[in-house]
Amino acid sequence: MTPRRDRVNQVLRDIDADAKCWQEAARLRREHRAWVVVWLARERCYKAYKRMPGARRDTALTATTAGDMATQIRRAEKAAARAGRHAPGRA
């Protein structure tokens, strides 16, 4: 193969990989509707945002794989649920 053809093939593989990541971000949004989940192609990572109950700021998560993002979302939701049960003034 010529160097040019190698480069074209690499670009096509990158486009295909990004498309799969955007599809995974859409799947994560469907599974975790309270979260805003995006794929940032330039940074090659997923970002997820949500305002957790009682939080003054949004919770922001970053992961390089969709699986890692799903794990972080579940952990953040569990932590928020635990914090809510132990919040002052709750019986």
- 51's torsion region: left (phi>0), alpha (psi -120 to 50) or beta? beta
**Global pTM exceeds 0.85:** no
Confirm whether 90 is domain-assigned: no
Give tens-digit pLDDT for 48-59.
999 877 777 889
Confirm whether 52 is domain-assigned: yes
User: Which residues form the domain of 60?
Assistant: 3-85
Average pLDDT value for residue range 11-16 = 76
Confirm whether 43 is domain-assigned: yes
Number of domains comprising the chain: 1
pLDDT at 74 over 80: yes
- Across 1-91, where does the E strand assignment appear? 36-40, 45-51, 58-63
Give tens-digit pLDDT for 26-40.
999 999 999 999 999
Confirm whether 91 is domain-assigned: no
